[in-house]
Chain A
Amino acid sequence: MDSVLLPHGVKRCSPWAFFFWTLPWLGLMAWGGLSAFLCLWKGLNQTNMSNVFAFALWIVFDLAVIALGAGAFFTGFLTYIIGKKELKNIINTAVIVGFICYSGAMAMLGIDIGQPIRGWFIFWHANIHSMLVEVSFCITCYLMVLAIEFIPIILENRKLEEIKELRLFGHNLHEIMAVFAATGTFLSFFHQGSLGGMFGVMYARPFAAREGFYIWPWTFFLFVLSAVACGPCFTILCTKLTEFLTRKKLVPDSAIQLLAKISAWLLSLYIVLKIFDYLAWIYGVVPRAGLTFESFFREGPYGIWLVVCEMVFCGILPAIILMTPQARKNQGWLIVACLLTCIGIVLNRFLFIIVTLAIPVMPFDRFWGYLPTWQEWGIGLAVVGYGFLVFSLAYRYLPVFPKERELNPVAGS
């Protein structure tokens, strides 16, 4: 039915099989659509957010997907600026995953603000002292860059490529991709950082507050580093999941191993610096506020175990696995390590958002807990559904993996 749209020389499932595959993801998106409609129509009272949990599940999702999507800018940087040619085999995946993550996060943010129609005030009445302004500017610009990076991949579709003008346009865009890779790197550096800065500058919230360098709290640099460490891991996971579902080898091991190795070094550096950050915070910021590390976890559902999981099981452990060449080369260990790294970074964002708000600062106030409503889950999971859908469409109709044909020769092609 759609065979004329499929890339040359590759095997794809039947249109019906593909249709049934998309149904759960369309279902998630429908759930999200209904939730979004209710939130826009009736207001944010549809959520379980409150004056205590001003930031909640959606912001955790936002920060998580933006960190996980960092593979796009970092792989682009390594491919086009540093010149790691073998990464050209995985750059398309990184770009598409990045685009999904950033566009999903932007859509979620649009519903998260109380007055979505006033969203443009961020740019019109911008408060240059606010880290969130830096985040908004950089993410908006970077989403445009990602769209520009995505266009040449779309234009490589078999049917679109037949149109000469589009083919030329796509080719020329491809030629100047290094410029966009550099722009993306610059923008991403600042928005990943300012997302961390957002929490570090909350000096009246001792759980999040950090000292820093000039106007940037240490969280600024740690968020950049953690994002570039986990972004490639998420790109690897997406590739491995696609390989598992399609039962094909799609990316040569050299590209995966190079990304994993780079991620290992960055993760190790991040963990070392994060340990120093924790120590400086525990012995600096916290006692100055008259508190102790344990006092943050005196009551409530969130305990020290979260920090232990973040640092040991999802930090040091995957760093050791990825640093060990034998373990890294083992498919199972590689996937476990990448998964743990991604969980660790999501945990880190969770701690900075939810736990920061759950802990009272006034001594006579109480600890708070929070559980999202189905509308909040709906919008969060819609991004997951959207991601699966876009990536599936891209895989089916676009030559996402340049080596697919070479690694999986189809008889008669």
Chain B
Amino acid sequence: MKKENDHGKPGHKYGMVINLDKCTGCGTCMVACAAENNVSVRPDQSDKERVITWMRLYRITNGKEFPDTEVSYFPRPCMHCDHHPPCVSVCVATATKLDFHTGIVSQIYTRCIGCRYCQAACPYGARYFNWWDAYFPKGKGLDRYLSPEVSPRMRGVVEKCTFCHHRLMRAKSQAYAEDRREIEEDQYQTACTEACPAGAITFGDLNNPEHQVSKLTKHPFTFRLLERIGTEPKVYYQSSRDWVRKLGDNFLPGEYQPVVNKTWMKEEWSTKPGRDTF
């Protein structure tokens, strides 16, 4: 990504940090995301291979027998991979783009031809195809939630998490109306971040040292999903549990380096510049 935008100032790079130790697996992020983004539903939502869940919650375990079993929940939005997202370069019709000014990987629904090459290329399963026409059952309240800010998707196109891009547009419009050039941290937050009752999700500009996310990413407990294949996700995870961090990537025997003698206390890790040195 370009370091600077057209005005010579550092470009924005919106990203997310999800604290898996705080996540209770309640699924509020999924519901909030679906309601905010007019995500179509199916009469049978149990068909997990075909339903659309921009934010998907995985349940992971340490694989041990009772009483040593441990469970964690793993919310997975689109990773908004940096520099060379696997889905962007493969798209035939330039229907998906990495915005160099925000770091957001967008999807242009009206240009997508539905070839699904991007789905095949994405290792996170973050892209969803509309196998049916959009469906919002009447009389059950879902139709009343529809947001005028987000275009519904037609059958036969791919959709994905946009980091609630329309909220960024809204914040920009607000800033313009108030004659401000910059958007404050709290003025652009995704729906899942706002909805999480445990406060497990933090969202902001990774390029802005004042934003909470850019501080959190330096924590030794921080990792990214499938970091070593080189997708450079802008979604970070945190967990104090080694087995959770280990499940964030594939490791050959002996490769994984546990994080030892660290706690959540800031003074114990703040002297270290970043996770790569641990």
Binds B, one of A4-12, A114-122, A158-166, A178-186: A114-122
Please choose the segment from A201-209, A221-229, A230-238, A315-323 that sits at the chain B interface, where 4 or more of its residues have CB less than 8 A away.
A201-209
CA distance in complex: A100, B230 (Å): 41
What chain A residues lie within 8 Å of B248 (beta carbons)?
Answer: 363
- Given A114-B113, A119-B113, A125 and B225 contact (CB-CB distance below 8 Å): no
A122:B49 contact, CB within 8 angstroms: no
Q: Are B251 and A290 in contact (CB under 8 A)?
A: yes
Across-interface contacts of A53 in B (CB, < 8 A): 49
Minimum distance in angstroms from A288 CB to a CB of chain B: 7
A43, B113: Cβ atoms closer than 8 Å: no
Asked whether A130 and B128 contact (CB < 8 A) given A51-B49, A125-B93, the answer is: no
Is the Cβ of A290 less than 8 Å from the Cβ of B252?
Answer: yes
- The A-contacting residues of B in range 137-194, CB under 8 angstroms, are 154-158
Bound CA span A242–B93, Å: 42
A114 and B229 contacting across the interface, CB-CB below 8 Å:
no
Residues of B within 8 A of A361 (CB): 123-124, 226, 229, 250
Contact A127 B93 (CB under 8 A): yes
CA distance A363 to B223 in the complex (A): 14
Contact status B49-A114, CB under 8 Å: no
> In the complex, what distance in Å separates the CA atom of A327 from the CA atom of B99?
60
Cβ contact within 8 Å between B229 and A198: no
Mask, A327-370, CB within 8 Å of B = 1, is 00000000000000000000000000000110001111100100
Q: A204 touching B123 by the CB < 8 A rule?
A: yes
* Bound CA span A364–B75, Å: 12
Which residues of chain B are near A290, meaning CB under 8 Å? 228, 249-252, 255
Judge whether A51 and B225 touch: CB under 8 Å: no
Summed over the interface, the residue pairs from A and B with CB atoms below 8 Å come to a total of: 161
Q: Is there an interface contact between B156 and A205, defined as CB atoms closer than 8 Å? A: no
Q: B111 within 8 Å of A by Cβ? A: yes
Which B87-119 residues have a C-beta within 8 angstroms of A? 89-95, 111-117, 119
Find A115's partner among B49, B157, B252 (CB 8 Å cutoff): B157
Residues of chain B lying within 8 A (CB to CB) of residue A246: none
Q: Is A247 an interface residue (CB 8 A)?
A: no
Asked if B129 and A54 make an inter-chain contact with CB atoms under 8 angstroms apart, the answer reads yes
Given A202-B86, A289-B228, A361-B226; A132-B92 close (CB under 8 Å): yes
Nearest CB in chain A to that of B249: its residue: A290
A392 in the interface, Cβ–Cβ < 8 Å?
no
Chain A residue at minimum C-beta to C-beta distance from B47: A50
What separation, in Å, do the CA atoms of A122 and B252 have in the docked complex?
Answer: 41
Q: List B contacts of A129 (CB < 8 A).
A: 89-90
Q: Is residue B24 contacting chain A, with contact meaning CB distance below 8 A?
A: no
Q: How far is the CA of A289 from the CA of B123 in the complex (A)?
A: 12
Interface string of A260-293 (1 = CB under 8 A from B): 0000000000000000000000000001111110
B249-270: CB near A (< 8 Å → 1, else 0) gives 1111001000000000000000
Residues of B within 8 A of A121 (CB): 92-93, 95, 111, 113
> How far, in whole Å, are A119 and B230 apart by their CA atoms in the complex?
31
User: What size tier do the contact residues of chain A reach?
Assistant: 35 or more
Tell me whether B129 and A51 are in contact (CB under 8 A). Answer: yes
- The reply on B198 being an interface residue by CB < 8 A is no
Q: How far is the CA of A203 from the CA of B251 in the complex (A)?
A: 17
Among candidates B125, B156, B228, B231, residue contacting A43 with C-beta atoms closer than 8 Å: B156
A126 at the interface (CB under 8 A from B): yes
The answer to whether A44 touches B120 (Cβ under 8 A) is no
Question: Quick check: B113 and A291 within 8 Å, CB to CB?
Answer: no
Task: Tell me if B32 is interfacial: C-beta within 8 Å of chain A.
Answer: no
A44 in contact with B131 (CB, 8 Å): yes
Residues in chain B near residue A287, CB distance under 8 A:
252
- Pick from A130, A132, A204: contact of B226, CB below 8 A: A204
Whether B210 is near chain A, meaning CB under 8 Å from some CB there, is no
- List the A side residues contacting B117 at CB < 8 Å: 54-55, 130, 132, 198
Smallest Cβ-Cβ distance to B121: which chain A residue: A202
For residue B122, CB closer than 8 A to chain A, the reply is yes
- B139 CB, min distance to chain A CBs, angstroms: 23
In this assembly, does B1 line the interface, its C-beta being within 8 Å of a C-beta of chain A?
no
Pairwise interchain contact B92-A136, C-beta atoms closer than 8 A: yes
Q: Assuming the A-B contacts A114-B156, A363-B250, are A54 and B116 also in contact, with contact meaning beta carbons closer than 8 angstroms in the complex?
A: yes
B87 to chain A minimum Cβ distance, whole angstroms, is: 9
Q: Are A206 and B229 in contact (CB under 8 A)?
A: yes
Chain A residues 99-113 with CB under 8 Å of chain B are 112-113
A362 touches B225 (CB 8 A): yes
B4 within 8 A of A: no
Query: Cβ of A153 < 8 Å from any Cβ of B?
Result: no
Report chain B residues within 8 Å CB of A292.
252
> Chain B 232-262, CB within 8 Å of chain A: the 1/0 string?
0000000000000001111110010000000
A133 on interface, CB distance cutoff 8 Å: yes
Looking at the complex, which one of A52, A130, A289 makes contact with B90 (CB distance below 8 Å)? A130
A203 contacts B229, CB within 8 Å? Answer: yes
Q: Give the shortest distance, in Å, between A289 (CB) and chain B (any CB).
A: 5
CB neighbours (8 Å) of A126 from chain B are 92-94
- Measured CB to CB, the nearest residue on chain A to B85 is A204
Contact between A113 and B60 (Cβ–Cβ < 8 Å)? no
**Contacting residues, chain A, for B229 (C-beta < 8 A):** 203-204, 206, 289, 361
A131:B90 contact, CB within 8 angstroms = yes
Measured CA separation A357–B129 after assembly (Å): 15
B58 within 8 A of A: yes
Does residue A45 face the partner (Cβ distance < 8 Å to B)? yes
Residues on A with C-beta less than 8 A from B275 are: none
The answer to whether residues A133 and B128 also contact, given A115-B114, A289-B228 and a CB cut-off of 8 A, is: no
Contact A205 B121 (CB under 8 A): yes
Contact of A51 with B50 at beta-carbon distance under 8 Å, contacts A203-B229, A364-B74 already known? yes
Measured between beta carbons, the chain A residues less than 8 angstroms from B278 are none
Cβ of A124: which chain B residues have Cβ within 8 Å of it? 93
Provide a sorted-by-A list of 8 A–B residue pairs whose CB atoms are within 8 angstroms. A43-B131, A45-B50, A115-B157, A119-B113, A121-B111, A127-B93, A133-B92, A290-B255
Beyond known contacts A45-B50, A118-B111, A121-B92: 16 more, CB 8 A cutoff: A49-B131, A54-B120, A55-B116, A115-B114, A121-B93, A122-B92, A122-B93, A125-B111, A127-B93, A130-B89, A198-B117, A204-B226, A204-B231, A356-B120, A362-B124, A362-B125
The 6 closest A-B pairs by CB, nearest first: A114-B114, A114-B156, A290-B250, A50-B49, A54-B119, A361-B123
